[in-house]
Amino acid sequence: VHMDTSLGQLSRMLDTDHFVLIVHNQRQYGCEGKVENKQMIFGIATRIDLLNFITSHDTEQ
């Protein structure tokens, strides 16, 4: 998933998978000015991570 994936979409993905990889697009500049776009793994999320995020942000409001 990308960083802009909604919590609802993430929840539906976690209904069928134990975890999801969070990826981020990054530009890499190589020799001779060559530019490549690569997807880098930014993190991993589980159902527990999602629940902790929702409950911790719910109490702040």
2: in domain:
no
Q: Are 41 and 21 in contact (CB under 8 A)?
A: yes
Instruction: Flag whether 31 is in a domain.
Output: yes
Domain that holds residue 12: 7-60
Answer yes or no: is 24 within a domain: yes
Residue 59: per-residue pLDDT: 66
How many structural domains compose the chain?
1
Query: How does pLDDT run along the chain (61 residues), one tens digit per residue?
Result: 999 999 999 999 999 999 999 999 999 998 888 999 999 999 999 999 999 999 997 766 5
Q: Give the model's pLDDT for residue 61.
A: 58
Residue 33 has a pLDDT of: 87
HEC string of 5-48 equals CCHHHHHHHHHHCCEEEEEEEEEEECHHHCEEEEEEEEEEEEHH
| Cross-strand partners of 33 | none
Is 11 among the domain residues?
yes
The single-letter code of the amino acid at 46 is T
44 is a domain residue: yes
Contacts of 21 (CB under 8 A, 6+ apart): 1, 41, 43, 44
